[in-house]
Structure 1
């Protein structure tokens, strides 16, 4: 099933938060509703202006999720900020954002695209704020502990 066909999971993670698993990196960022529908439209790395607006809006959504104690939303907001940082950085270092050419990893350039580097730094700034948030850290630890107890 492709992301265009909709979420892989037939789960409303707001209604069923206990079904959410943290996962690695940006895993499931395009699959967890209703958060995908709320966060993806905000996300952009096209221009510096759109990235600044998007990163700020995603961080504001994180704050809303934090204030309503929605850990899955908080964590998915983190994943969208992380995705902004990592994807923009890839475009900053590699022509066309292509890390591989003919199956071989290309050598990174410093800096191939200065605007994408600036975009990456915008997302990184908000990502660091989120990661440093005491409530997020506390809830993430609790969530991981609950996940390991259920295993």
Structure 2
């Protein structure tokens, strides 16, 4: 499942994020139409990760939040020169593209129903153990 989704997960630029989120939305819809909650939820997670990873790159130059050697949290990226500010803005915009699609996923009635059904089945299974 992840191997179907992963090749389409990209967020480097706004056009790439838009194309990626459109494809992932289509994959998400196909899982929902087939009543495959696990597939839909996995796709939703990749869409959410597109949002959060693009945001991380907007907030931290190079996308690194913690120092490799010490593990300390690094300072947030403040923009710098005009080119760096443009790159940061592009990552913010890419994050927003994924955020719109992510909200569409989690607010969809069919997805909510599938999630509720799956949760009931999971709880019943746990109860029977």
TM-score range (shorter-chain normalised) is 0.7 to 0.9
Distance (whole Å) between structure 2 residues aligned to residue 110 and residue 148 of structure 1 = 46
- Normalising by structure 1, we get a TM-score of 0.73
Aligned-residue RMSD, C-alpha: 1.4
Q: Which residue of 1 aligns with 2:10?
A: 44
Please say if 1:136 is aligned against 2:104: no
Q: Which residue of 2 aligns with 1:53?
A: 19
Shift of residue 108, structure 1, vs aligned partner: 2.6
Distance (whole Å) between structure 1 residues aligned to residue 57 and residue 120 of structure 2 = 36
- Normalising by structure 2, we get a TM-score of 0.85
Shift of residue 137, structure 1, vs aligned partner: 0.6
Distance 1:85 1:110, change over 3 A: farther
Alignment equivalent of 1:107, drawn from 65, 75, 88: 75
Paired residues, number: 117
Shift of residue 109, structure 1, vs aligned partner: 3.7
Distance (whole Å) between structure 2 residues aligned to residue 80 and residue 53 of structure 1 = 14
Provide structure 2 residue ranges, at least 5 long, that are not aligned to the other structure.
80-84
Please say if 1:123 is aligned against 2:101: no
Structure (1 or 2) with the greater helix fraction: 2
Deviates more, 1:121-130 or 1:139-148: 139-148
